[in-house]
């Protein structure tokens, strides 16, 4: 069966065909490390994680690159406000980001390039665009002349007619109506403090958009399969990435553009600027389980907006609990009997899951099949119509599904609810730096035969 993905470029669902048989190259726009990421941001990373995991489930070998934007308007402003170095400032949030993706079981990318370590590659592209007269120098930097790239606007469907040519926009983020020549390189400005690269194209720093063209092409080649990000990146960021990359290579840049819709709060995009956000840490401190947060973020189709409420996290917590309880029940089946219908039922469910996921990752349908299946099996268990061997096969199926979903904890499921609760409480105490309480719970757990070991870093 073939996977179909919605491609923002063509506005259609298309059968996914990799450039190289059996292999997929994906680039996702990573975090701008100017603050703690909020769970809206994590919706983007969870959605591309499900895509990546499903591609692997289907047998593709995936190479995934996710950049770290550690220099842009926002990071410079933040560092200067605190009066610390850009590196000192951004590494703090980069560290938090890595901790958070681990908590949410988001698989690590193969490479996490930092923008500040790739200015050489950016400059090479800019020089090429200057030589080809697609970019030009102005008093405050180097700009991309959008009138020189005939396909400008093809991703976001921005029309160039009616726009005055030669007008420029220096800031990294702007609206579609303001589409104009954008900054590839920004000459040093006193607002940049001590952030400056002294280079052959001038003293200054890169614009945000060129960062992703340089890092994606360096690690994935000039033409690769999938580029992912939230819908707010379609314009100007991804539109500009296409323009810079294709104008400098004369090749198609990316085949499939994958964009997730937003996480909302009361109908508005969750964002730092609106102040309507929760960080992952906020939710963990309230006692919510990371798996519930992950479940919530992935359970709606990636192309529909999802409204965030605490009730929704609680519902997600229940759903995860139901799956974990299902696993516990399966492990408790001891009967030697065999149910002749099980193989068929397993095949049917696997097929239903795959048909749904192949249809542009229709995860809500895929999940509903899993829950229907669990209900049917639970009835068989209650009626004593399931044998241990049958249950083992079902556990294997769930393990396969969980390779994509990563919401069931196959380690924790063996623990009783009482012990799981203690582990969660201890985790919370550690996060709140209440080490006395955490140590006491650890001692209690030890008495029950559960040994927990912390690494040194976790304590810092």
What, of ligand AMP, Zn ion, none, does residue 262 touch, CB below 5 to 8 Å by kind?
Answer: ligand AMP
Give the residue, chosen from 50, 183, 212, 327, that forms a contact with Zn ion under the rule CB under 5 A.
212
Give the residue, chosen from 3, 5, 29, 179, that forms a contact with Zn ion under the rule CB under 5 A.
29
Shortest Cβ 174–Zn ion spacing (Å): 15
Q: Binding to Zn ion by residue 33, rule CB under 5 A?
A: no
Residues 205-244 that bind ligand AMP (CB under 6 A): 229-230, 232-233
78 vs 170: CA distance, rounded Å:
18
Shorter beta-carbon distance to Zn ion: residue 29 or 96: 29
Shorter beta-carbon distance to ligand AMP: residue 44 or 406: 44
CB neighbour burial string for 60-75, b if at least 16 within 10 angstroms, e if fewer: bebbbbbbbbbbbbbb
| Selection from 415, 403, 425 nearest residue 449 by Cα | 415
Q: How many residues bind ligand AMP (CB under 6 A)?
A: 17
Shortest Cβ 173–ligand AMP spacing (Å): 9
Residues 102-131 that bind ligand AMP (CB under 6 A): none
Shorter beta-carbon distance to Zn ion: residue 158 or 276: 158
What, of Zn ion, ligand AMP, none, does residue 212 touch, CB below 5 to 8 Å by kind?
Answer: Zn ion
Shorter beta-carbon distance to ligand AMP: residue 212 or 394: 212
Q: Which residue is nearest to ligand AMP (CB)?
A: 230
Shortest Cβ 134–Zn ion spacing (Å): 20
Q: Binding to ligand AMP by residue 254, rule CB under 6 A?
A: no
Under 8 Å between Cβ of 24 and 62: yes
What, of Zn ion, ligand AMP, none, does residue 134 touch, CB below 5 to 8 Å by kind?
Answer: none
Length of the chain as a residue count: 460
Shorter beta-carbon distance to ligand AMP: residue 210 or 323: 210
Residues 28-67 that bind ligand AMP (CB under 6 A): 29, 31-32, 40-41, 43-44
Scanning 88-96, 268-276, 337-345, 380-388 for contacts with ligand AMP by CB under 6 A, the matching segment is 268-276
Shortest Cβ 270–ligand AMP spacing (Å): 4
Q: Binding to ligand AMP by residue 296, rule CB under 6 A?
A: no
Interacting residue ranges for ligand AMP, rule: CB under 6 A = 29, 31-32, 40-41, 43-44, 229-230, 232-233, 260, 262-263, 269-271
């Amino acid at each position: 069966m073939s996977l179909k993905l919605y491609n923002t470029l063509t506005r259609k669902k298309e059968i996914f065909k990799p450039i190289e048989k059996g292999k997929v190259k994906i680039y996702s726009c990573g975090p701008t490390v100017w603050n703690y990421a909020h769970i809206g941001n994590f919706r983007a990373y969870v959605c591309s994680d499900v895509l990546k995991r499903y591609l692997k489930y289907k047998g593709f070998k995936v190479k995934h690159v996710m950049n770290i934007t550690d220099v842009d308007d926002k990071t410079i402003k933040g560092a200067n406000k605190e009066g610390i170095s850009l590196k000192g400032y951004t590494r703090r949030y980069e560290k938090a980001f890595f901790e958070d993706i681990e908590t949410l079981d988001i698989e690590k990318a193969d490479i996490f390039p930092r923008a500040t370590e790739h200015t050489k590659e950016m400059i090479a592209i800019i020089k090429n665009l200057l030589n080809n007269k697609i970019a030009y120098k102005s008093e405050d930097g180097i700009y991309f002349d959008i009138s020189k790239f005939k396909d400008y606007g093809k991703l976001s469907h921005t029309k160039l007619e009616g726009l005055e040519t030669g007008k420029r926009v220096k800031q990294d983020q702007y609206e579609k109506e303001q589409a104009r020549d954008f900054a590839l390189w920004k000459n040093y400005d006193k607002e940049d403090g001590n952030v400056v690269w002294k280079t052959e194209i001038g003293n200054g720093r890169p614009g945000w958009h060129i960062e992703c063209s340089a890092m994606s092409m360096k690690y994935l080649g000039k033409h690769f399969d999938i580029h992912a990000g939230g819908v707010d990146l379609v314009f100007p960021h991804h539109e500009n990435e296409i323009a810079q990359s294709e104008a400098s290579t004369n090749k198609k840049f990316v085949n499939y553009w994958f964009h997730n819709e937003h996480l909302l709060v009361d109908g508005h995009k969750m964002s730092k600027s609106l102040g309507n956000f929760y960080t992952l840490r906020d939710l963990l401190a309230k006692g919510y389980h990371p798996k519930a947060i992950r479940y919530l973020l992935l359970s709606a189709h990636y192309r529909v907006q999802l409204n965030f409420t605490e009730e929704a996290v609680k519902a997600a917590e229940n759903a995860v609990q139901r799956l974990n309880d299902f696993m516990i029940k399966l492990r408790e089946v001891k009967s030697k009997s065999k149910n002749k219908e099980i193989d068929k039922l397993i095949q049917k469910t696997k097929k239903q899951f795959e048909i749904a996921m192949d249809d542009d990752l229709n995860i809500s349908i895929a999940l509903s099949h899993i829950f229907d299946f669990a209900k049917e099996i639970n009835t068989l268990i209650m009626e004593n119509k399931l044998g241990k061997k049958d249950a083992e096969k079902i556990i294997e199926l769930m393990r396969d599904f969980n390779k994509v979903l990563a919401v069931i904890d196959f380690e924790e499921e063996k623990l009783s609810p009482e012990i799981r609760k203690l582990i969660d409480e201890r985790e919370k105490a550690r996060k709140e730096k209440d080490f006395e309480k955490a140590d006491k719970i650890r001692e209690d757990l030890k008495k029950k035969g559960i040994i927990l070991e912390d690494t040194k870093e976790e304590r810092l």
